[in-house]
Amino acid sequence: MANLEAKHLFAYNRFPDNELKKLLVVAYFPFGVILLLLRSVLALFLVIFGQVLPDTQVTQNFLYNLACICFGITVSVDNLKQKENVSVYIGNYLSILDHLAVSKALGFILPLNKTPLQSLPGLGITNLGSINNADSFKKNLEVVLKNKNTSVYLCPEETPTNGRALLKFNSKYFEFFEKVQPVCITVKRPLDIAISTIGSTYINDVLYFMYAPFTNYTIKLLPSLEKKSISTDGFSEIVRENIASELKITASPLSASDLLEWSKRYLAEERRRAQERTNQLSNSFSSASNPELVRMAAQVKEVLPHVPVGTIYNDLNVTRSIDTTITNILEGRIRFVPETPRPSSPTPSTSQQPSTSGCTSSSTPSRQGACTSSTQFNTGASTFGKSANERTKSIKERKEQLIAAARRRYIEKHNLDIPV
């Protein structure tokens, strides 16, 4: 199976593109809102009980069941008899509430990854710190395993995906475990409402857990694996290959940091495009309410047809001067992507004169001036400067010639009574 790129491991839309399913989503909307409100009340009780109840096994079982009801989580286990007495379960990462489903299926298990429920003391979730601080992490882990007498659940991918591939595991976790049991998780929702989307926050994802009819987790346990004399990297890769093979997905060479970097670039580009659309819309409103600006922009566009109208509008909004805007464009003070000028359609001739583009002796003075200007519109330096000062001077001279030529063309085109 070919390796997937980072862009293939994100969901971009919360709702499906299928037209029939869109209609079903619209029909479900009022029921979803009612369900969201009811579950929000239960979530309020969950927060209150999680703050005031003691951290005991009975409390944890009660709160985890209440949390599953609040978030509409249902769980089915394919082979519960495969469960072994291990201290660590390793699974693929699909959502921020995976650990709730695993705990509901296998009994209370302490999640090592971040979760929005870790601020509730009654749930018994302990923050072990960053894996990058190995000594502190190991010490906290030993204390938790000894005092709580419970197993832990870990997603070494470290960031959720859409489930199409398995990210590279952070092998640092496997330094502390000699025996683990892999867990394969799949998640489905009615109406194909996405579990998470690129750029979504914890709050957004939790709200959609409460909005959806339910979220069904299917859990399958694989035989446990022992590290023995295998290296840490080799052991983590063996565990990953076992999970990927069972799920029939790709074991991707990408890591969580790769996905994070790609998503940052994607979201930055989306914000830039949204800003451009906003600017274009504001320019449209501005041009509609300011006919003078439209006239000025059209005249600049005639002189510099390769410059986008939006760019011209933006600068004219500041300068309010045709000459200044043309100067800014020619001197490179404004960045833009040049447009390809549309070729002008040929005008049918009304006479049989052979010359249609050249200048004749019977041309009007203004026409002769235009022809002279077009033939003399050459800003190239006659020689290449030998020194840097000469080349800089040559560039400045050509800039001045470009500005003068553009001004001359503009004056001649509109027959303005202004000295050239």
The dihedral formed by the CA atoms of 174, 201, 280 and 333, expressed in degrees to the nearest 10: -50
Task: Summarize the chain as % helix, strand, coil (round to 5).
Answer: 50, 10, 40
Q: Running DSSP on this structure, what letter comes out for residue 95? A: -
pLDDT digit string, tens, across residues 205-214: 999 999 999 9
169 Cβ contact list (under 8 Å, min separation 6): 156, 157, 236, 237, 239, 240
Per-residue pLDDT, 286:
59
- Residue environment code for 71-99, b if the CB has 16+ CB neighbours within 10 A, otherwise e: bbbebebeeeeebeebebbbbbbbbbbbb
pTM of the model: 0.67
Counting runs of H as helices and runs of E as strands, what totals does the chain give?
12, 9
- Which token pair is 150? 């419970």
225 Cβ contact list (under 8 Å, min separation 6): 179, 180, 181, 182, 235, 238, 239, 242
Q: What is the C-alpha to C-alpha distance for residues 85 and 103, in angstroms, rounded to an integer?
A: 15
Residue showing tokens 């049991």: 181
H helices present in 250-387, as ranges: 256-289, 291-303, 309-319, 322-330, 365-375
Strands 179-188 and 165-166: unpaired
Percentage, residues of the chain above pLDDT 90: 41
Residue showing tokens 């990462």: 93
What is the CATH code for 256-340? 1.10.8.10
Residue showing tokens 């419970």: 150
pLDDT digit string, tens, across residues 78-92: 888 888 888 899 999
170 Cβ contact list (under 8 Å, min separation 6): 131, 156, 157, 158, 236, 255, 256
Strands 179-188 and 225-226: antiparallel
**Residues found in the chain:** 420
**What are the structural domain ranges in the chain?**
6-254, 256-340, 364-420
Per-residue pLDDT, 81:
86
Q: What is the C-alpha to C-alpha distance for residues 370 and 206, in angstroms, rounded to an integer?
A: 69
What backbone phi and psi angles, to 5 degrees, belong to 142?
-65, -40
Per-residue pLDDT, 80:
86
DSSP H or E run through 181 = strand 179-188
Q: What is the C-alpha to C-alpha distance for residues 289 and 282, in angstroms, rounded to an integer?
A: 11
Strands 179-188 and 215-221: antiparallel
Residues of the chain with confidence (pLDDT) below 50: 344-382, 384
Q: How far is CA 46 from the centre of its chain?
A: 33
Q: What is the C-alpha to C-alpha distance for residues 325 and 304, in angstroms, rounded to an integer?
A: 11
Per-residue pLDDT, 388:
53
Q: What is the C-alpha to C-alpha distance for residues 75 and 215, in angstroms, rounded to an integer?
A: 8
Q: What is the C-alpha to C-alpha distance for residues 193 and 95, in angstroms, rounded to an integer?
A: 13
Q: What is the C-alpha to C-alpha distance for residues 69 and 16, in angstroms, rounded to an integer?
A: 25
278-to-80, 281, 284, 285, 308 alpha-carbon distances in Å = 54, 5, 10, 11, 16
pLDDT digit string, tens, across residues 178-212: 899 999 999 999 989 999 999 899 999 999 999 99
Q: What is the 3-state secondary structure (H, E, C) of 212-256?
A: CCCEEEEEEECCCEECCCCCHHHHHHHHHHHHHHHHCCEECCCCH
Q: What is the C-alpha to C-alpha distance for residues 393 and 381, in angstroms, rounded to an integer?
A: 10
